[in-house]
Amino acid sequence: MALRVLGDRVLVQVDEDKETKTEGGIILPDTARKKPQRGRVVAVGEGVRLDNGKVVPLEVKVGDRVVFSKYGGTEVKDGDKEYLILGADDIYAKEA
């Protein structure tokens, strides 16, 4: 992977939304589908830097499955794969 996230950022591989048809058989274009809100953490920044210079590590680690803000983050591509870069505040929960 050529991307290295910095600070309090997290790189997430978003779960694919496989459903393209409604129950009535209407095919939905990509723009009309619900945006996925779950994914797997691929990379984690060093953490939050406090005013005194101390770095507090993030609560998530590589491999964790997370729930995040529906409209949060920035979409990026690395090769043929698509990811989402999220701030630590955009992650609401991790699966146990």
Measured between alpha carbons, how far is 21 from 55 in angstroms, rounded to an integer? 46
Query: Residue 14 above 80 pLDDT?
Result: yes
Q: Which one-letter amino acid corresponds to residue 9?
A: R
pLDDT of 41 reads 96
- Over pLDDT 90: what percentage of the chain? 58
Q: Domains of the chain: which residue ranges?
A: 9-17+25-94
Above 80 in pLDDT, residue 83?
yes
Of the spans 18-27, 28-37, 40-49, 74-83, which averages the highest pLDDT? 40-49
Mean pLDDT of all residues belonging to the chain: 85
Residue type, 74: T
Topology adopted by domain 9-17+25-94: 10 Kd Chaperonin, Protein Cpn10; Chain O (2.30.33)
Q: Name the strands in the sheet holding 91-94, side by side, starting at the edge strand that comes first in the sequence.
A: 74-78, 81-87, 9-14, 38-44, 65-68, 91-94
Taking the chain, what is the end-to-end CA distance rounded to the nearest angstrom? 26
pLDDT at 96: 79
Average pLDDT rounded to a whole number, residues 26-55: 82
Say which residues have a Cβ less than 8 Å from residue 4's Cβ, sequence separation at least 6: 43
